[in-house]
Chain A
Amino acid sequence: MRLFENLNINFMSKRSIFYVVSATILLLGFISIFVKGVEFGIDFKGGSEIALQFEKPVVIEKIRAEIDKLGIGNVEVKTFGGTTGILLRTELQELPKQVLPKVRSKIENVISNVYPGIEKRITDSSSTSITYSFPDPAAATVLNNRLFEAGFNSAKVSDEVTNTAVSVRLGIADLIKDNLSEKFKDNSFTVLKEDRVGPKVGKELKRDAVLSVLLSLVVILIYLGFRFKFTFAFGAVIALFHDVLITLGIFTILYGLIPGFNLEISVSVVAAFLTLVGYSINDTVIVFDRVREQMKIHKTLSVEENMNHAINKTMSRTIITVFTVLLTIVALLIFGGEVLRGFAFALFIGMITGTYSSVFIASAFVLEYSNRAHKKIEF
C-alpha cells in the first residue's frame, strides 16, 4: 500500500493560507491566555491537592457542599478516574483566620476529653501551627499521642524528658480529610495521593520550566545551524516556537470545557512540551535534509520548486512517522489513566502542530527569507 504516491502539490504557493490559519489559532490562543489565563497546576502555584477513592460512588455536589461549609474559600472539587474518585484542590497555603478558632476548639476538645480541666497554655500560635504547654511531661506525652491518633499532626516540641510542650501542625488537607471522614462515615475512603507544595518551589519551577524550554530551542538552533544553513535552523526554531505556543493556547482554550479532563499546566505537561520540541523537529529535519539534497542535484531550479519537490517526496514519510507516534500517544491517552492524561494530550496536540509547522512554517520561513534576501541558498 502506498499513500501520497506521486504527490505533486504546489505547497509553497499556498503558504499565505497557512499563515492565516496559524495566525488565527495563535491569536485565539493569546486571547484565551489573556482572558482566561493559563491554569497552572499546584506544582507551579503551590497549594494542596488530594485524591480520594471512596468505597461507593459519590455525588460530587454533596462533597462540594460539605467542603463549602468549612469556609476555607475556593476549593476545586473534581472527579478523579471513575465515579468513586474525587480530586480536591486548593491554592491556599495556610488555614484562613476565620477557621482557626474552629480547628482550635476541635483540638481542645480532644485534650479535655483526655484530661478534663487540665491547665494549658498556648505558647505559640500561627496559621500553620499551634503549640500548647502542659503542667507536666507525662501529660504532654499522653496528649501528643492522643492528638496524633485523633488525626492531628502533633509532635512534641522536644524529646527531652522534661518537655511539656506539644505542637500541632495545621494543614488544609488534614482539615478536609478529617471533615469528609466524619461526614461520610458510611462510605469510607482511602487517600490515593496527596500533594502539598509550598509557594517557593512553584516559583522556582516556573522559572526553570520556561528556561528549559528556551534552552532546548537554543540548543536546537545551534545544532541545526551547524548541520544546515543558519536560515534553516532559524526556520526550524520558529516552527517549534509556534508549536509550543499553539499547544499552550489550545490547552487554555479547552481548559474546563471537557469534563473529567484536567488540562492545567503541570510539571508533566511542561515535560510534554520539551518532548514535543525534541520530536517535532524530526519532521523538519527530514524535509530540510531533502531540500538540501534537491538543491545539490537541481542547482538550476528555484528554491520554491526544490522545496515543493522535497515536501511532496517526503510527504508520505512525514505523515506515517507522525501517525505511528500518534498511535502510541492515543494508547497513552486512553489507557494511561488520569495521571498521564494531560501529558499525553499535550503531546497529541503538539505532534500534530509539529508536523504541520515543519512543512508550512519552517520551510515557508526559509523561502520567505531567500525571497527577501534575493539570494539563492546554496549548499
Chain B
Amino acid sequence: MKELRFRIILIVGAIALCLYLLYPTYKDYQNTKAVTAQVEGLQPSIKKNNPSLTNAQIKDIIASKKDSILTNNPDYRSAREKRMKLGLDLQGGMYLVMEVNTAKLLEKLARDPDDQFKQILKSSEAESKDSDENVVSILERKMKQQGIRMSRYFGSIREDDAVITSKLLQQESDAVTRAIEIISNRVNQYGVSEPSIQKQGSRRIVIELPGIAREEEAKRLLQGSALLEFKLVKDAAFAIPIMNQIDQALAGKAGKDSASAKNDVASKTDTTKKDQKLTAEQFAKEHPFFAVARLLDSQGRIADAYVKESDKSKINAFLENPEVKKVVPDNIEFIYDQRPEKDPSGEKYFRMYMVNKEASLTGGVIVDAQSNIDPSTSAPVVNMQMNTEGSRDWAQITGSNINKRCAIVLDGVVYSAPNIIGKIPSGNSQITGSANLEEAKLLEIVLKAGALPAPIDILDQRTVGPSLGQDSISKGLNSTWIGYLVVAIFMIFYYKKAGTFASFALIVTILLLIGVLAGFGATLTLPGIAGIVLTMGVAVDANVIIYERIREELSSGKTVKAAVDSGFKLSFAPIFDSNITSFFTGLILYQFGSGPIQGFALTLMIGLVTSLFAQLVVVRVIFDFMVVKGYKINVG
C-alpha cells in the first residue's frame, strides 16, 4: 500500500491542479450566462427608447454591452482573463493576413521616378509574385542588368547599391512596424476584445479580431491611411473652469452655482480640500465629473486628468448630456493618451487631455523623423523635419504658443504632448522627454505614419459568423460526449471490469488535457475539439495493448500479479514508440498549420502525453491496488 501512496498523491494532485486551472473557465461561463440574462432584459427598453433601430442594430448594441461588462467589471475580469479562450472559428470573428506592398512603397520613396524606373519596378513586382525573392533585391538586380545605379533614385550619390538596398529593406521593415502600430491603435480604440496582431516573417501581419458584431467597423479600421495631427493642448487657466462647469452641470446645480462655477483654479483647490472630508460616494454625487476624471495635479496647474479604462464610456456619456453641451465650447475636445498607466491593483488609467478640436497642422507636412540618443545628454530624442510649407506654419504655431503643449495625435489618440520651448523657424524640431529609446522609436513610427503611409494588401481574409461558431461549439461538444460514450461502452463490454478502469482513465485523460490547455492559455478551436475526440479513440489503444498482453500472459499460466506486471512491462516499448512518432507528426503539423490547425496539433500532442499518464500511471495504480487488496481482476 505504501508504494502506491506516492502515485495516488501524484494523480490526485494532477487532477486537483487541472480542476483549479479550469475553474475560471467555468466561472466565466456562469458570469456570461448571468450577464447575458441581465443585458437581454434591457432589450425592450432599448427598443422603446430608440424605435428607429433595426433588430440587427439592437443586437449589436446588446453584444457590445455584454462584452464591455464582461471585460471591464473587475469581478468578471479575472475569470475572463484566465478562462480557456475560444478560437475565431468557435466564437466568430475575422482573420486577416496582410502584406506590405513593397512596390508601392518603393514608388513613394523614389526620387523623381521616370518611366524607365516605373517599368523596372512593375516587372520586379510581377516577378516577385512567383518567387520568394524580395522586390527590393529583384529591383536591384534588374537595375544592375540595365546598368543603372540605385543611387539615381534612392539615397545619396555616394552610396553604393548594397548600402541603398539594405536601407530600403529597413524601410520595408519599418513600414510593417508602422502598419502594425496604426492597426493596433485603431483596433484598441474600437474596443475589439482580445485582438491579436502579429508580425509574420518580414512583411506580413496576421490579425485576429474576435466577435463578429463589429465586422463592418473591423473592415473599415483596416482601410485608408492613418491621420496624424498636431493639436494644441489647452492650458489649465482655460481648461479647469470649463471642467468645473461640466462638473456642476452634471451635479445638477448649473443654474444655482453659476457664480462659483465661474471661479477658477482657486475654487477648485478649495473644493478638493473640503471634499476630502466627503466620502467617495458623496463626492461622486457632488462632483460626478471629477470623480471619474481625476485631476493629475490637485493644485490645478495642469488640466490633464486620469480616467479609468472602464470610465471612458461614462465621460463620453457626460459629454453627450445637453446641460454639459451648453457649457463646453465647440472648438475643444477631450482625447486620451495611447498608453495607459497602471495603478498597483492593475487598474488601467488613461491620461485625458483637453485640446483644440481643429488641428494646427496635419502629418502630411512631415518629411522625415528619426529617433536617436542625444550625444550631449544621452537622453532619447526624436528629430523631425517638415517641408517648406509645413515649416512656415510650424514656425508661426510654435512662435505664438511658447510654453504651451502640442499633442501629437494619431487617429485620435495622443502619443506625446511635448512642451513648446521656443519658436522653430527651420521646420527641424527635436522632441525630448521620451522615457527610453523604445518609446522614442514608437514616436518616430507615429510621425512617419503621417508622411509615409504603409501600403498594405490583404492576402487572406476569413470571417466566421457567430451563428456558425455557436453551431460548431454544440456540434463539437456533441461529438465529444458521443465519442466518449461509444468508446467507454465498447471498452466495458469487451474488457469488463478492466474496461471500466480504462473508461475512468479516459475521463482523467480529457480532464488533464483541457486543464493543461487552459493552464497554457491555449486557444480552443473546432479542429482542437476534433483533436480531443480523436485523443479518446487513441488513448484507449494503450489499454487495449496492455490488456491483450495481460490476457496472453494469463493464458500462458502466469499468476495475476505476474501477468499484470509483465503485461505493463512488455507493452511499454511499443506504446512509447508509437506515441512518440505521433508526437513528431504533431510537432510538424503545428509548424505547418495556422490558427485552427495549430489548435488541433496542440491538443493532439498534449492529449498524447496526458493519455500516456492516465493509461500507464492511473490504470496501473488501480490494478496494483486491486492486486494488493486481493480483489479479482477481470480483463474480459
**What separation, in Å, do the CA atoms of A3 and B57 have in the docked complex?**
61
**A216, B584: Cβ atoms closer than 8 Å:** yes
**B459, A271: Cβ atoms closer than 8 Å:** no
The 8 Å CB contact of A327, one of B89, B537, B578, B604, is B537
**B537, A325: Cβ atoms closer than 8 Å:** yes
Q: Does B389 contact A (CB under 8 A)?
A: no
Residue interface bits B455-476, CB-to-A below 8 A is 1, else 0: 0011111111101100110011
Q: Does A320 contact B (CB under 8 A)?
A: yes
**Tier of interface size on chain B:** 35 or more
**A274, B592: Cβ atoms closer than 8 Å:** yes
Q: Does A187 contact B (CB under 8 A)?
A: no
**B475, A337: Cβ atoms closer than 8 Å:** yes
A45 to chain B, nearest CB (A): 12
Q: Which residues of A contact B467 (CB under 8 A)?
A: 53, 190, 192
Q: Does B129 contact A (CB under 8 A)?
A: yes
Q: Which residues of B contact A2 (CB under 8 A)?
A: 551, 636
Residue interface bits B536-578, CB-to-A below 8 A is 1, else 0: 1110110011001001100000000000000000100110011
**B588, A212: Cβ atoms closer than 8 Å:** yes
**B97, A201: Cβ atoms closer than 8 Å:** yes
Q: Which residues of A contact B306 (CB under 8 A)?
A: none
Q: Does A153 contact B (CB under 8 A)?
A: yes
Q: Does A193 contact B (CB under 8 A)?
A: yes
**What separation, in Å, do the CA atoms of A321 and B545 have in the docked complex?**
8
**A344, B226: Cβ atoms closer than 8 Å:** no
**A195, B537: Cβ atoms closer than 8 Å:** no
State whether A196 and B460 are in contact (beta carbons under 8 Å apart), knowing that A2-B551, A212-B588 are contacts in the complex.
Answer: yes
- Interface residues of A, dominant DSSP: helix
A142 to chain B, nearest CB (A): 16
Q: Does B350 contact A (CB under 8 A)?
A: no
Interface size on A, residues (CB 8 A): 78
The 8 Å CB contact of A215, one of B471, B491, B588, B600, is B588
Q: Which residues of A contact B530 (CB under 8 A)?
A: 332, 336, 340, 343-344
State whether A321 and B584 are in contact (beta carbons under 8 Å apart), knowing that A282-B578, A285-B574, A331-B482 are contacts in the complex.
Answer: no
**What separation, in Å, do the CA atoms of A356 and B404 have in the docked complex?**
81
**What separation, in Å, do the CA atoms of A340 and B525 have in the docked complex?**
11
Q: Does B292 contact A (CB under 8 A)?
A: no
B470 to chain A, nearest CB (A): 11
**What separation, in Å, do the CA atoms of A279 and B219 have in the docked complex?**
41
Q: Which residues of B contact A336 (CB under 8 A)?
A: 475-476, 479, 530, 533
The 8 Å CB contact of B527, one of A212, A268, A335, is A268
Q: Which residues of B contact A158 (CB under 8 A)?
A: 224-225, 227, 364, 453
Q: Does A51 contact B (CB under 8 A)?
A: yes
B355 to chain A, nearest CB (A): 16
Q: Does A38 contact B (CB under 8 A)?
A: no
Instruction: Please report which residues of chain B, range 334-374, place their CB below 8 angstroms from some CB of chain A when the two chains form the complex.
Output: 359, 362, 364
The 8 Å CB contact of A220, one of B475, B538, B581, B597, is B581
State whether A320 and B462 are in contact (beta carbons under 8 Å apart), knowing that A289-B577, A335-B482, A339-B472 are contacts in the complex.
Answer: no
The 8 Å CB contact of A223, one of B359, B364, B574, B581, is B581
- The chain A residue sitting closest to B495, CB to CB, is A1
Residue interface bits B510-552, CB-to-A below 8 A is 1, else 0: 0000000000000000110010011011101100110010011
Residue interface bits B144-181, CB-to-A below 8 A is 1, else 0: 00000000000000000000000000000000000000
**What separation, in Å, do the CA atoms of A344 and B482 have in the docked complex?**
15
Q: Which residues of A contact B461 (CB under 8 A)?
A: 194-197
State whether A275 and B544 are in contact (beta carbons under 8 Å apart), knowing that A223-B580, A327-B483, A336-B530 are contacts in the complex.
Answer: no
Residue interface bits A259-288, CB-to-B below 8 A is 1, else 0: 000000001101100110111011001100
**B227, A159: Cβ atoms closer than 8 Å:** yes
**B479, A279: Cβ atoms closer than 8 Å:** no
**A224, B494: Cβ atoms closer than 8 Å:** no
**What separation, in Å, do the CA atoms of A359 and B181 have in the docked complex?**
57
State whether A281 and B220 are in contact (beta carbons under 8 Å apart), knowing that A191-B465, A331-B533 are contacts in the complex.
Answer: no
Instruction: Please report which residues of chain A, range 177-197, place their CB below 8 angstroms from some CB of chain B when the two chains form the complex.
Output: 190-197
State whether A321 and B544 are in contact (beta carbons under 8 Å apart), knowing that A161-B362, A223-B581, A327-B537 are contacts in the complex.
Answer: yes
The 8 Å CB contact of B459, one of A153, A198, A274, A324, is A198
Q: Which residues of B contact A317 (CB under 8 A)?
A: 544-545, 548
**A159, B226: Cβ atoms closer than 8 Å:** yes
**A271, B585: Cβ atoms closer than 8 Å:** no
**What separation, in Å, do the CA atoms of A343 and B476 have in the docked complex?**
13
**A267, B580: Cβ atoms closer than 8 Å:** no
State whether A200 and B459 are in contact (beta carbons under 8 Å apart), knowing that A219-B584, A271-B597, A327-B490 are contacts in the complex.
Answer: yes
Q: Which residues of B contact A153 (CB under 8 A)?
A: 219, 223
**B589, A201: Cβ atoms closer than 8 Å:** no
Q: Which residues of B contact A274 (CB under 8 A)?
A: 585, 588-589, 592
Q: Does B478 contact A (CB under 8 A)?
A: yes
State whether A332 and B483 are in contact (beta carbons under 8 Å apart), knowing that A51-B468, A271-B527, A320-B548 are contacts in the complex.
Answer: yes
The 8 Å CB contact of B541, one of A156, A216, A324, A329, is A324
Residue interface bits A129-141, CB-to-B below 8 A is 1, else 0: 0000000000000
The 3 closest A-B pairs by CB, nearest first: A278-B585, A328-B537, A159-B227
Q: Can you sample 6 A-B contacts with CB below 8 Å?
A: A201-B97, A271-B600, A278-B583, A278-B604, A332-B483, A343-B527
Residue ranges of A at the interface with B (Cβ–Cβ < 8 Å): 1-2, 51, 53, 81, 148, 153, 155-161, 169, 190-201, 208-209, 211-212, 215-216, 219-220, 223-224, 227, 267-268, 270-271, 274-275, 277-279, 281-282, 285-286, 289-290, 293, 313-314, 316-317, 320-321, 323-329, 331-332, 334-337, 339-340, 343-344, 347
Q: A275-B604, A339-B526 are in contact. List 19 more A-B contacts (CB 8 A).
A: A1-B493, A157-B225, A158-B453, A193-B464, A216-B589, A268-B527, A268-B597, A274-B588, A275-B600, A278-B581, A278-B582, A282-B578, A324-B487, A325-B538, A328-B536, A332-B530, A336-B479, A339-B472, A340-B530
